[in-house]
Amino acid sequence: MDFEIVFIPEARKEFKKLDNSIKQLVADKISKLKNNPHLGEPLGNKLGRNLTGYYKIYVFNKKIRIVYEIIDKFLIVKIITISKREKFEAYFLADKRKNLKILF
């Protein structure tokens, strides 16, 4: 069964700002989550931030990290952040955004 991919608004903005070649790599990776949402690696406690229940996948030779949440009940993969891997930026953004809701 396919999952629906949804972005929180901040993640959508991050996606739109990507260079077109990187954007295509990110889009390809995210589309794979439709059939296999557990493709990414589960997160737990990262740098004192509780990201249990979230997953990460890498793109562009591990330079871009995508953090997402799986909402099994509604067959949704919620993209939380698409950001650079350096300085653990994605984890800090994900922690700050983890309670943001998606709009339909």
Please indicate, yes or no, whether the overall pTM of this predicted structure exceeds 0.85.
yes
Residue 19 confidence (pLDDT) above 60: yes
Say what the pLDDT of residue 44 is.
Answer: 87
Domains and CATH numbers, the chain: 4-97 (3.30.2310.20)
**How many of the other CB atoms lie within 10 Å of CB of 74?**
11
Residue 79 confidence (pLDDT) above 90: yes
Say what the pLDDT of residue 103 is.
Answer: 57
Is 67 in contact with 94 (CB distance < 8 Å)?
yes
* Euclidean distance between CA atoms 37 and 93, whole angstroms: 21
